[in-house]
Amino acid sequence: MNDLGRNEGWVSVGVTHDTAEFAVETINQWWQRMGKLVYGDVREILITADGGGSNGSRVRLWKTELQRLSNVLKMTIHVRHFPPGTR
């Protein structure tokens, strides 16, 4: 995770067979440990992700996990996907 505005990053290490689940849990851990300390008063978050793989725009589990996180955090989550192959 990169916070471009603050020039800070977050790295998460875990073991799971599902990238979508891991990605959403990483977002949750970032929010719990860093994000809410800095941005605690926000009610929306923007996530940018690549357009392929387990967090692609058509992957049901990715959407389901993001909705679950949105419910837990009581926050609106917006996602913008980069086109496949974007670097």
Q: Please state whether the predicted TM-score (pTM) of the whole model is above 0.85.
A: no
Give the pLDDT score at 17.
60
- C-beta separation of 66 from 77 below 8 A: yes
Q: How would residue 65 be classed by pLDDT, with cut points 50, 70 and 90? A: very high
Assess if residue 71 is contained within a domain.
yes
Residue span of the structural domain in which 70 resides: 19-81
Assess if residue 6 is contained within a domain.
no
Residue appearing with tokens 């929010």: 31
Assess if residue 43 is contained within a domain.
yes
Assess if residue 67 is contained within a domain.
yes
Higher pLDDT: 57 or 82? It is 82
Assess if residue 56 is contained within a domain.
yes
* Counted domains in the chain: 1
- What is the Cα Rg of the chain in Å? 13
Residue 46 DSSP label: E
